[in-house]
Amino acid sequence: MAVVVTEQEFQEWQGSRVTKAFMKAVDNDREWLKEMLLVGTEDDSNLRGRAAAVTSILRMTYEDLMESAKENRDV
């Protein structure tokens, strides 16, 4: 069953204190990942994958969410 999210709901979610705190934590994780990649570790591919996922979360737009819903029928 698809969950319909309106653009207004998405904007309200983005403005939420909880969402802002979550995004800050995710951004901090991204910065840590970048530092680890600069230092060089044995598992760079894992770090790169995590960094890509984190960046995707931070850049998510309403349009991205709707496109994902069309592709996956899960949202």
Tell me what pLDDT residue 45 has. Answer: 85
* Cα separation, 70 vs 66, whole angstroms: 6
Q: Are 2 and 75 in contact (CB under 8 A)?
A: yes
**Which amino acid does the sequence have at 2?**
A
Tell me what pLDDT residue 44 has. Answer: 85
How sure is the predictor about 56, in pLDDT bands with cuts at 50, 70 and 90? Answer: very high
Q: Are 51 and 37 in contact (CB under 8 A)?
A: yes
* Cα separation, 35 vs 16, whole angstroms: 29
pTM for this entry: 0.75
Tell me what pLDDT residue 72 has. Answer: 72
What are the tens digits of pLDDT across the range 21-54? 999 999 999 999 999 999 887 678 889 899 999 9
74 or 12: whose pLDDT is higher? Answer: 12
The helix (H) or strand (E) run that includes residue 30 is: helix 17-39
